[in-house]
Amino acid sequence: MIATIQKNNSYKIDLSKPLDISLPLQAGPENVNAWWAPHPRIEPVVMGSFIGDVNQGGSVNFKNIFLNPHGNGTHTECVGHISTEPYTIQCLKQFVFVALLISVTPIETNTGDTVIFKEQLPDLFDSDVDAVIIRTLPNNDSKKLKQYSGTNFTYVDAALMQHLADNNISHFLIDLPSVDREEDGGALAAHHAFWQYPHQVRKHATITEFIFVDNAITDGTYILNLQITSLQNDASPSKPVLYALL
């Protein structure tokens, strides 16, 4: 099925050819993980003689799921992640955007950190672009199961996030656990800069972390469908999907 997306420009996409850039979650340790979060659990409900597992004699599969959105897999978060006000991911009201995918090699600083800087992005974005997606290099399948806790992983310089806000980029997606340094004393400077919190809060803006962009997907402009669950929480497990332009 061919669809036309109209913004300032007109874009055609083939809805039968989605490019999923989320990481699937499963029970146990075989998932990407950060912040020492417990591994996801998917367990059948047990009530008296009832068990919610067909393979254990139940009539249906009926299971509880236990996870931490920030630590377990692809997730999308809103300003409620850092605010005293109870903003939730339901601030996201639109779900289809023009997105720019960029591959970036992080730079090692003299402190031993690896950082992504503003100078590594284009100076100006097309007026149609709503979202920026960063794929860090090198890029390989080991990212899908990487355990990031205690590794001082790559992060994004706050000036880059300010640059995105200044250019009206509302959605930022990256294949890392966080845009901020793993241990920064609670500053979360990149988060604050992107959401302009607390003075000019961008309630509609989102950050999506723990994506994975396959090497077969080339840099360039795409249509992004950002799917979340209807949770009243600062973050939700999410499924960002790209569509190539025709």
pTM of the model: 0.97
In a domain, 40, yes or no: no
CB 238 within 8 Å of CB 6: no
Domain count, the chain: 1
Residue 82 domain-assigned? yes
Range(s) of the domain holding residue 205: 2-26+69-244
243 within 8 A of 18, measured Cβ to Cβ: yes
89, part of any domain: yes
Which whole-number Å values give the CA distances from 239 to 20, 27, 45, 178, 220, in the listed order?
7, 18, 26, 17, 20
Q: With respect to residue 46, please indicate whether it lies within any of the assigned structural domains.
A: no
Torsion sign, CA atoms 33, 194, 165, 138: negative
Sign of CA dihedral 19, 23, 26, 30: positive
pLDDT of residue 125: 66
Q: What is the pLDDT of residue 126?
A: 66
Encoding tokens for residue 245? Answer: 């332009």
- Cα distance between residue 242 and residue 226, in whole Å: 9
Instruction: Return per-residue pLDDT of the chain as tens, 246 residues.
Output: 998 898 889 999 999 999 999 999 999 999 999 999 999 999 999 999 999 999 999 999 999 999 999 999 999 999 999 999 999 999 999 999 999 999 999 999 999 999 999 999 987 666 789 999 999 999 999 999 999 999 999 999 999 999 999 999 999 999 999 999 999 999 999 999 999 999 999 999 999 999 999 999 999 999 999 999 999 999 999 999 999 999
The CA–CA distances, whole Å, from 54 to 2, 44, 161, 175 equal: 40, 10, 48, 36
pLDDT for position 127:
73
CATH number, domain of 108, equals: 3.50.30.50
d(CA 150, CA 144): 17
